[in-house]
Structures are given as C-alpha cells and as structure tokens.
Amino acid sequence: MALTQTSARVAGVRTVHYADSQDRWLPAVMVLPFLLAITALVIIPLLWGIRISFTNSRIIGRAFTEAFTLANYQSVLTDPDTWHSLYVTAVFSLGTVIGSIALGLVTALVLTRAFPGRGIVRTLIILPWAVPHVVAALIWQWMYNPNYGVVNYAIGWIPFVTSQPNWLSDPNLALPAIIILNIWKTYPFATLVLLAGLQSIPDELYEASEIDGAGPVRRFLDITLPGLKHVLAIVVLLLTIWSFGNFVFIFLMTQGGPAGATNTLVVKVYFEAFRFFRAGPAFAMGSLLLLVAVLLTLAYAFIVRRGKDA
C-alpha cells in the first residue's frame, strides 16, 4: 500500500516535470519584449534617479562624476515644506479613499437590486472613470469657477446662503475641491469592484442569516462586510496608490497652490526638478516616494495572493 502510493507520487512528479520542461521557454519568450521595455523605460531611469539623489548634481546626466553624499536626504527630511506636503498628500489620499469607497459601496448596494433600467445605469456609472484626467480637470475647473461655475450657481439656490466661495483660490477649500473631483473620478472603479464582490456572496448566506434571526443591519455587518473584506482591501490599496501618485488634477487646477494648500509630494517633486532645477533634492524625495509606493504595492500583492489561497 505504502509502496504503491510512493511510486504513484513519483510518477506524478515526473509527469509534471515533463510538461514543465516542454513549454518552459515559451512564456518567457512571450514576456521578453515587455521586460526589455520595462527595463529601458522604467528600471534604468529609476536606478539613475536613485544614483543622482546621492550626489550634488544640479544637471541631469553627470551623476557618475559626482561624489557620494547624503546631503539631499538631509535637506529634504529637515525641510518643513516636505512634511507639509506629506500631510497634504495624506489628506488627499485618505479623503479620496474614504469618499470613493463610501460612495462606491452605496452605489454598488443599490445596483445589486433589480430595478427597471439597471443595465443602463450600470453602464452610465462608469463614465467618470472613462473620462480622461485632463478633460475631467478642465470640466471641474469650469464648474468650480466662482463667477459662472455651476457649483456656485447651485449654491445660489440654497436658501439663506449668500456666499459665493472661490473654490480653487481659497486655501481652505482648494484641497477639498480637488478631493471631490478625485472621488468623482475614482468611485466608478470602487463601484465596479465592490459590485463584483457583492455578487460573489451567495444568496444562501443572506437567507441563512435571515432565518437565524438577523435583520438588515446585522446582515450587512455579518454577511456583506466580511464577504467584501478582501475586495475592500484591494480597493483601498489601489485608490491609495493612485491618489498618492496623482499629479494631473493638482498640476492642472492649482499648481500646488494656493499657498501650498494642495502641494502634494509628487507636485513638489516636479517643481523641485523642473522649475527650480534642484535635481538632487528632487530625486531624493522621489526615491522616498518610490519606497512608499513599493511598500504599498507589496501590500497589494500580499493581499491578492492571500485571497487566492483562501
């Protein structure tokens, strides 16, 4: 008995090995062009940038003739502006994640119910996601315009409100205004993924909990939320990564202003490098950003893999 089992196992391993060696190279060859492109366009510039961040170079392209120094990191980490930018970035990301997921979850819950025209609504809801960033920024810039924007026009309809805020020029309103834009742009994605998550929860679980005595609130807390846990983690991470790296909205609408109110880290890096031509500090900050992005991506990969095992 034990003997036959062992030989069966050995035979099994051999079969797998055969299939493996036959097509082992094909997938590798297929991804090779992509790997080369990634290396040339992403990995080499990244390493180059990291190298520059440890030099006093002001001009891109002379990195290897300069001496090694930690001065850039020192100046970046002691600069209060950096910490302010980190704060702005955190608020921007957190605001987007919370707003987008809350809105996305409500929309997804509504869309799981059958109602006339659901198919059309499901399609329309993706539109903001499909609009290019630049177009979205221009549309919203117009909407936020204090004189002829639709937002202030709408506010005019609210009784007893007379103020006409200058959304993008008011240091207290600029960041929330762009967060709202970013929520509008990203919540269709949250909706779609959460909708898929909701549909993967078997109806029987809801029925079982209903019979066990759970009301609507308990069913949401005990069945829906745990069922979405994995999907929610993925949405949170992806939205964080994207918000963290969002450059277009802020650059087009406020350029980091007013008074640095929307000066996120990526925008700051851009201005350091291409407006003030301080390559060293810019690359130092960029390298730190890269580190954060890598950590977030690793967390994402970890969650995806754990979800696959479960």
Partner 1 sequence: MSTARLEQLSKQYDGHLAVDRINLDIADGEFVVFVGPSGCGKSTTLRMIAGLERATGGEIWIDGKPANHVSPRDRDIAMVFQNYALYPHMTVAQNLSYALRLRNWSRADIDRRVTEVARSLDLAPLLHRKPSQLSGGQRQRVALGRAIIREPKLFLMDEPLSNLDAKLRVQTRAEITRLQRSLGITTIYVTHDQTEAMTMGNKIVVMNGGRIQQADTPQQLYQHPANTFVAQFIGTPPMNLLRCRLEPQDGAIVARGAGVNIPIRLESLTVLRPKIRDGEFLIGFRPEDIVMDPGAAGNGVTGSADVIEGLGHESLVSVKEGENAFIARMSPENAAPIRLGDRLSFSVNPDRLRFFSAESGEAIRVP
CB nearer to partner 1: give 44 or 304: 304
Task: Estimate the share of the chain in helix, then strand, then coil, as percent rounded to the nearest 5.
Answer: 75, 0, 25
CB nearer to partner 1: give 214 or 248: 214
Q: Which residues contact 126 (CB under 8 A, 6 or more apart)?
A: 188, 192
Binding flag, residue 205, partner 1 (CB under 8 A): yes
Q: Is 183 left (phi over 0), alpha (psi -120 to 50) or beta?
A: alpha
Q: How far is the CB of 120 from partner 1 (least distance, A)?
A: 22
Q: How far is the CB of 201 from partner 1 (least distance, A)?
A: 9
Alpha carbons 178 and 166: distance in angstroms, whole number = 13
Q: How far is the CB of 204 from partner 1 (least distance, A)?
A: 4
CB nearer to partner 1: give 229 or 275: 229
CB nearer to partner 1: give 55 or 224: 224
Number of residues interacting with partner 1: please give it, by CB under 8 A. 19
Q: How far is the CB of 278 from partner 1 (least distance, A)?
A: 51
Q: Is 260 left (phi over 0), alpha (psi -120 to 50) or beta?
A: left
CB nearer to partner 1: give 176 or 227: 227
Q: Which of 45, 171, 202, 307 contacts partner 1 by CB under 8 A?
A: 202
Residues of this chain, 206-235, that bind partner 1 according to CB under 8 A: 207-215, 218, 222-223, 226-227, 229
Residues of this chain, 82-121, that bind partner 1 according to CB under 8 A: none
Residues of this chain, 139-168, that bind partner 1 according to CB under 8 A: none
Q: How far is the CB of 213 from partner 1 (least distance, A)?
A: 4
CB nearer to partner 1: give 131 or 205: 205
CB nearer to partner 1: give 10 or 310: 310
Q: Which of 15, 65, 130, 204 contacts partner 1 by CB under 8 A?
A: 204
Rounded to the nearest 10°, the torsion over CA 193, 194, 199, 204 is: 150
Alpha carbons 282 and 50: distance in angstroms, whole number = 10
Residue type, 7: S
> What's the number of CA atoms in the CB half-sphere (13 Å) around residue 226?
8
Q: How far is the CB of 309 from partner 1 (least distance, A)?
A: 10
Going from the C-alpha of 267 to that of each of 202, 227, 236, 277, the distances in angstroms are 45, 37, 22, 14
Which 3-state string (H, E, C) describes 18-86? HHHHHCCHHHHHHHHHHHHHHHHHHHHHHHHHHHHHCCCCCCCCCHHHCCCCCHHHHHHHHCHHHHHHH
Q: How far is the CB of 8 from partner 1 (least distance, A)?
A: 21
Interface with partner 1 (CB under 8 A): 202, 204-205, 207-215, 218, 222-223, 226-227, 229, 310
